[in-house]
Structure 1
Amino acid sequence: MVDLTLSEAELERHREHVTAFVREKVEEAGVDGAVLGLSGGIDSTLTAYLIVEALGEENLHGLVMPGAVSSEENMSDAERVAQELGITYDVFEINPIVDRFLDAYPEAEGDRLAVGNARARTRAVLNYLVANHEGALVVGTGNRTEAAVGYFTKYGDGAVDCHPIGNLYKQQVRQLAKHVGVAEDLAEKVPTAGLWAGQTDEGELGMDYDTLDAVLALHVDGPLSVTATARQVENASEDDVRRIREMYERSEHKRSVPASPEPLQ
């Protein structure tokens, strides 16, 4: 399998690169601070650590936004991260807001995907409400792996001003998190988007992240064919590789601005 392990020197370079990026984006926007949704997962945890390093704890406002299916452990971890970093944070229950959407459109009740995405988009609206009021940037937590396969909600967790860890594969997110001092139990916890009860990222993707990272690096981002990739990646069949390629192609619209017709000549 392809080795995506970063050396200590490479991890330090990524750390410096990301923190410089955050400072640059804040300066370009003419603001002083950032707003970040804290889920208790490794992506938002690492991003919070790096923002504090870049801007100082006084310039990051964390939002913990539990929904009907949010686990107590994740929400507790989200508050733990905020408290460990010494940042200001608020807890907003999103259930009443999502319930009002369903009151307006009851036909969607029970549609797991539609309601799950509504939860993600509700969080995005709250992020921007706070950021607009405070004159801050909304910072995202997307990584390279999930962006490639479209594993995020369009105009939900994808609705942000920048993604500081967007060039890191998921396993590299874990590596960098440990490098900057994130606790082992947070760095290694099972990832979940928290869109519905019992949901886990790897269960929904049908593949563990290390295998997915390898397929993306060798085939989608790299030069190898489907057959060659399957030979290189122990836990991925040719059908698995094709499925990941299809996910990448189908989710292209999520990584692009909304399309318009070409101008008339």
Structure 2
Amino acid sequence: MQTQAVIEHITRWLADYAQSAHAKGFIVGVSGGIDSAVVSTLAARTGLPVLLLEMPIRQQPDQVSRAREHMAALQQRFSNVQSLSIDLTPTFDTFAATAEVDADTFPNKALALANARSRLRMLTLYYYGQLHGLLVTGTGNKIEDFGVGFFTKYGDGGVDISPIADLTKTQVYRLAAALDVAESIQKAVPTDGLWDTERTDEEQMGASYPELEWAMSVYDTHRPEDFSGRQREVLEIYTRLHRAMQHKINPIPVCTIPPELLG
């Protein structure tokens, strides 16, 4: 990959899109992870106004510290960058208490609450984005957005633009190194930060990003039965996740009414 050329391409694409959309700039949710660090740095390079939003919800301390260190570093490097820290924990706690249900009756309660965190952050990004005339800028990569659907529908999947969704996680790491993203972020184990207890992306999906990238590359031409051992297991995981995520990326089904019923 021509890393520097890709950086320049995305930077120009962001600036051109903002101009055509008559937007002032970009708003990015910063989590302390690699994807949001890369996206926020790319947005900053456009020279247009950028608002970084850190939105902790019962967050692990290391995630909070990495996010704030990254925001401070970007503000030092780029005069067009501003940041806000909005603690959404009290708001989420109120919602969770108000919508309380029995976990024995609803075994998917923990996942529903995890997705609610992501959707609360999306609401906050759009609120501040509309106040300042900024585009909500997505941080999903190709594996997450089009491979296994590792995002929340109408949560972190609810964005205006998606600058790194054509890049694999491995490629995002290459951009991070070229963009001088903090070493602590580059070395951090990927996690979505949506759970009270630490759950890495690999633990949740059952495979690492390099493994899933391989599975994505062979998915259209091979079946799990074509492989053995770990490769077969990984392709089975990818196939299951990919099929399950189609509702996230396909258009919302619309019931078409026959014309004779409308006459």
TM-score (norm 2): 0.88
Q: d(CA) in 1 for partners of 2:239 and 2:47?
A: 38
SS at match of 1:168: coil
Rg comparison, structure with higher value: 2
Which amino acid in 2 is paired with 1:17?
H
CA contact (8 A) 2:212 2:234 kept: no
Match of 2:99 in 1: 105
SS at match of 1:52: helix
Q: d(CA) in 2 for partners of 1:79 and 1:239?
A: 38
2:50 paired residue among 52, 57, 60: 60
2:27 paired residue among 35, 60, 63: 35
CA contact (8 A) 1:66 1:94 kept: yes
Which amino acid in 2 is paired with 1:207?
A
Deviation at 1:150, TM superposition (A): 0.8
Change (3 A) 1:54 1:263: farther
2:74 paired residue among 85, 96, 103: 85
CA contact (8 A) 1:63 1:91 kept: yes
Deviation at 1:118, TM superposition (A): 0.7
Equivalent residues in 2 for 1:191-206, closer than 5 Å = 191-196=190-195, 197-206=197-206
Which amino acid in 1 is paired with 2:57?
G
Change (3 A) 1:218 1:13: farther
CA contact (8 A) 1:108 1:114 kept: no
SS at match of 1:62: strand
Q: Can you list the C-alpha shifts for 1:188-238, whole angstroms capped at 9, x where unaligned?
A: 210110111111101111111111111112225xx334344x36xxx7332
Match of 2:78 in 1: none
Which amino acid in 2 is paired with 1:152?
F
Match of 1:171 in 2: 170
1:25 aligns with 2:17: yes
CA contact (8 A) 2:70 2:182 kept: no
Moved more, 167-176 or 16-25: 16-25
Q: Can you list the C-alpha shifts for 1:154-193, whole angstroms capped at 9, x where unaligned?
A: 1110011011000011111111111122133311210110
1:126 aligns with 2:128: no
TM-score (norm 1): 0.88
2:42 paired residue among 25, 44, 50: 50
1:251 paired residue among 214, 239, 245: 245
CA contact (8 A) 2:27 2:134 kept: yes
SS at match of 1:63: strand
Gaps of at least 5 residues in structure 2 are 76-80
Which amino acid in 1 is paired with 2:241?
M
Which amino acid in 1 is paired with 2:55?
M
Q: Can you list the C-alpha shifts for 1:124-152, whole angstroms capped at 9, x where unaligned?
A: 00000000111110001000011120100
CA contact (8 A) 1:102 1:108 kept: no
CA contact (8 A) 1:138 1:162 kept: yes
Change (3 A) 1:258 1:55: farther
Deviation at 1:108, TM superposition (A): 6.5
CA contact (8 A) 1:165 1:173 kept: yes
Gaps of at least 5 residues in structure 1 are 1-5
CA contact (8 A) 2:53 2:85 kept: yes
**Paired residues, what number?**
248
Tell me the C-alpha RMSD between the 2 structures. Answer: 1.8
Q: d(CA) in 2 for partners of 1:37 and 1:236?
A: 35
Q: d(CA) in 2 for partners of 1:256 and 1:63?
A: 29
Fraction of identical pairs, as percent:
30
Q: Can you list the C-alpha shifts for 1:8-44, whole angstroms capped at 9, x where unaligned?
A: xx11221122112211221122011111100000000
Which amino acid in 1 is paired with 2:37?
T
Q: d(CA) in 1 for partners of 2:102 and 2:121?
A: 18
